[in-house]
Amino acid sequence: MWQLIRIELFKIFKKPRTYIAFGAIAAIVFLIQFAFYSDGDEYMAFLLKSVNETFTLEGKLLNGYFICYIILQTLLLHVPLLIALVSGDMIAGEANMGTLRLLASKPVSRTGLILSKFIAATVYTLALLTFMAILSLFGSMLIFGVSDLIVFKTEMFVVLESDDVFWRYIAAYGFAALSMITVSSLAFFLSVFAENSIGPIIGAMSIVLICTILISMDIPFFTEMKPFLFVNHMLNWKGFFDRPVDYAEVLKSALVLIFHIILFVSLTIFVFKRKDILS
Amino acid sequence: MNILHVENLTKHFKEIKAVDDLSFSVKKGEVYGFLGQNGAGKSTTIRMLLTLIKPASGSIHVFGKDLRDNRKTILKNVGAIIEKPDLYKYLTAFENLKLMAQLSGCRCSKQELMNQLERVGLSERADSKVKTFSQGMKQRLGIACALIHDPELIILDEPANGLDPHGIADMRNLILHLSKNEGKTILISSHLLSEIELIADSMLIIDKGKKVAEGSVSVLLNPSDTLVEIETTNDALTKTEIGNSKWAEYLQHGDRILLKMHRQSIPELNKHLVYAGIDVTNIQAKHSLENYFLSLTTGNQHVATYQD
């Protein structure tokens, strides 16, 4: 199994398309950091306009923690596409190249093959998020320094003391990893039905997009569906920036995501084991 | 000893019967030709041999073991190219070969991998990405990948596809070398009778998923044999009688009864059937067997019907 995982990782990191995601994340992070570096004070003044009428906020509000929060909020909506780019290609891409029949005719079990591919896709997802964390958190801390974090919610704002923030980011990234692995497992599942990677990538993104639209609509029918849609739970990394943190809610969301990961991977194995490989 | 034994293998794709009750055996050390035109069911059969497709019914035994129950053990000792060489274009020739060796459970040293590339004339391009390779080079690398773990049974599906005449000759020599000097058992599929004739010891011809003929190449292509079509009032009994006879061989082909036999034996056949109580309405010597097999492998039925 370890050998298979190594082979899959070797293939992923030898493929040029793998680095598109790293390049895209680096570009977006640097652009946001640059924008805040040059025009950050103006943005903060605009953001705090209504707040300043009632409260007096002191300290360096435009700091590394705040920039990282903005980056996380922006990027975690787009990272699923970058994840699907590789995960959706894991099986369908091999079918398209004709290498799937080669793999399936080797003395390895089909279950082992699928699990190794999924684990490799998970490693890629974690690598991408770690890269994002280094650039957005440590990069911003280095450029803008650290201070208290102000987080704006729908009808309120929360101020978190500087020494109470770092662990929240680590936890938020951990939760975001779970969310992204769920998207990865969805794209991976769709990949088993296709013979080129475009279908699974677009399919996974469409599902995420449709669910996002459904949960943002305040229609009773959709509201009732919310708890069952995994996309609704993906954004609960923000829960770590509440005071106090509602751990029961965060844990519930994490369990929903883990359930979906297990479901998608099990279905992939089930389908692949019965599949006639004709590509 | 049979290395491969296939019995009553059948596969449907919805209503289409791709392989229909196919049985054959491949002996140790022989080059076994698997002939048929495109769509005859060769690749489907080969994919079933490699566990890529699940048969609807029938059994496959390799090295005396049931493939269903001993998949991993059997596949460790099988090397294959299916239709065209399957390679990772963004990897180098060396990386592809190393990956295939690892997947096949072979712990090859760098030197062994380089020797294998040398064997197929690609050692100088070891570090070139496969996307820069010609079809012939890919085919040679595919062969290297199929042989890297020193398999006992080699399955080659249309290995001459995309090769120039020089490449085809090289491939032919390699197959003969593997068989004669290294004792490998080789199953090679092709739609070219002329190619199989040159390298195979035995051959199987299939058409529309059904076996038409099987036997040693020299016997099947015996120039003194001819193809005879016969019409009787009792086809089932005719087939049984011919099956019991020594001087005629029944070739399956749709509803027609085609026989492979000496032209001189035709009167004896007629007498035999009449004695068995079968009314013969027509016996016709059609043309040479080679032309008939040629028609089955090229899809040119015109050859079968009119040429002699």
Kindly list the averaged pLDDT for each block of 10 residues, start to end, along chain B of length 308: 88 86 88 85 90 91 90 90 83 92 86 88 86 84 87 87 78 84 88 78 84 75 73 80 72 68 78 82 71 60 38
Question: What does the pLDDT read at residue A96?
Answer: 86
Of A4, A10, A276, the CB nearest to B54: A276
In angstroms, rounded to a whole number, what is the distance separating the alpha carbons of residues A158 and B213?
Answer: 83
Asked whether A132 and A25 are in contact (CB, 8 A), the reply is yes
For residue B301, what pLDDT is reported?
47
Decide if A105 and B88 are in contact by the 8 Å CB cutoff: no
- Tell me if A136 is assigned to some domain: yes
Q: Which ranges of chain A have pLDDT less than 70?
A: 51-53, 55-57, 76, 154
What residue of A is the nearest CA neighbor of B131?
Answer: A97
Pick from B212, A204, B184: which is nearest to B201 by CA?
B184
User: What pLDDT sits at residue B223?
Assistant: 65
Which residue is it, tokens 């019409």?
Answer: B231
Q: Residue A86: name the closest of A167, A3, A188 by CA.
A: A188
Distance from CA of B263 to the nearest CA of A (A): 44
Taking the Cβ of residue A108 and every Cβ of chain B, the question of whether any pair is shorter than 8 Å is answered with yes
pLDDT of residue B74: 92
Is ipTM strictly over 0.90?
Answer: no
b/e per residue A49-74 (b: at least 16 CB within 10 A):
eeeeeeeeeeeebbbbbbbbbbbbee
Residues of B in contact with A274 (CB under 8 A): 54
Q: Of all helices (H) and strands (E), which one includes residue B286?
A: strand B280-288
Q: How far apart are CA A276 and CA A274, in angstroms?
A: 7
Residue B26's beta-bridge partner residues?
Answer: B4
How would you classify residue A114: left for phi > 0, otherwise alpha for psi between -120 and 50, otherwise beta? Answer: alpha
Q: Where does B148-234 have alpha helices with state H?
A: 165-180, 193-199, 217-220
Structure tokens at B145: 């990948």
Looking at the complex, does the CB of residue A107 fall below 8 Å from at least one CB of chain B? yes
Nearest CA in chain A to B90: A15
Contacts B72 to A, Cβ<8 Å: 107-109
> Residue A14: its chain B contacts at CB < 8 A?
88, 90-91, 95
> What is the predicted pLDDT for the residue at B229?
79
Residues in B closer than 8 angstroms to A97, CB to CB, are: 86, 88-89
Question: How many A×B Cβ pairs under 8 Å?
Answer: 70
Nearest to B52 among A4, A10, A105 (CB): A105
Identity of the residue in A3, A11, A99 whose CB atom sits nearest the CB atom of B86: A99
Q: Chain B partners of A10 at a C-beta cutoff of 8 Å?
A: 95, 99
Residues in B whose CB is inside 8 Å of some CB of A read: 47, 50-54, 71-76, 78, 80, 82-84, 86-91, 95, 99-100, 102-105
Nearest CA to CA, how far is A75 from chain B (Å)?
Answer: 29
Domain count, chain A: 1
Residue A70, pLDDT score: 85
Domain limits for position A179: 2-274
| DSSP conformation class of B183 | -
**Intervals of CATH 3.40.50.300 along chain B:** 2-207
Q: Distance from A3 to chain B by nearest Cα, in Å?
A: 8
Q: Please report the pLDDT score of residue A189 as a whole number.
A: 94
Instruction: Among B71, B90, B99, select the one facing A16 at the smallest CB separation.
Output: B90
Question: Is A10 close to B105, i.e. CB distance below 8 A?
Answer: no
Smallest CA–CA distance from B87 into chain A, residue: A99
Q: Looking at the complex, does the CB of residue A17 fall below 8 Å from at least one CB of chain B?
A: no
pTM for the structure as a whole? 0.81
A-chain residue closest to B78, CA distance: A106
Which residues touch B37 (CB under 8 Å, ≥6 apart)? B191, B207, B296, B297, B298, B299
pLDDT the model gives residue B295: 62
Structure tokens at A111: 């279950």
DSSP 8-state symbol, A238: G
Which positions ≥6 away from A180 have C-beta within 8 Å? Answer: A79, A80, A83, A125, A128, A129
> Do B82 and A105 lie within an 8 Å CB cutoff?
yes
Instruction: Say if the Cβ atoms of A278 and B47 lie within 8 Å.
Output: yes
- Contact indicator for A64, A143 with CB cutoff of 8 Å: yes
Contact (Cβ atoms closer than 8 angstroms) between residue B213 and residue B220: yes
**CA atoms of A131 and B232, how far apart (whole Å):** 79
Distance from CA of B103 to the nearest CA of A (A): 6
CB contacts, 8 Å: B87 with chain A? 99
At residue B94, the pLDDT reads 93
Please count the other Cβ atoms lying within 10 Å of the Cβ belonging to residue A26. Answer: 15
What's the pLDDT at B288? Answer: 61
Instruction: Inspect the interface and report whether the beta carbons of A97 and B86 lie closer than 8 Å.
Output: yes
| Closest approach of B155 to chain A, Cα-based (Å) | 11
CATH number for the region B2-207 comes to 3.40.50.300
Q: Mean pLDDT score of chain A, rounded to an integer?
A: 85
Cα angle value A14/A18/A21 (rounded, 5°): 155
CATH domain B222-306 topology? Alpha-Beta Plaits (3.30.70)
DSSP A136-195: IIIHHHHHH----EEEE-SS-EEEE-GGGTHHHHHHHHHHHHHHHHHHHHHHHHHHTT-S
Q: Do B54 and A102 touch (CB under 8 A)?
A: no
Give whole-number Cα distances, A120 to A12, A90, A93, A202, in Å: 8, 9, 15, 21
| Listed residue (B161, B194, B160) closest to B293, CA to CA | B194
Of B83, B88, B104, the CB nearest to A106: B104
Count of all residues that appear for chain A in the document: 279
For residue A279, being part of any structural domain is answered with: no
Q: Residue B55 has what DSSP assignment?
A: -
Residue ranges of chain B assigned to CATH 3.30.70: 222-306
Helix, strand, coil percentages, rounded to 5, for chain A: 75, 5, 20
Is residue A66 a part of any domain in this protein?
Answer: yes
Q: Which residues of B touch A3 (CB under 8 A)?
A: 102
Distance (Å) of CA B156 to CA A34, A92, A124, B26, B81: 58, 24, 35, 14, 5
Sequence-distant (6+) residues with CB within 8 A of B54 are A274, A276, B48
B248: β partners: B261
Is A14 in contact with B91 (Cβ distance < 8 A)? yes
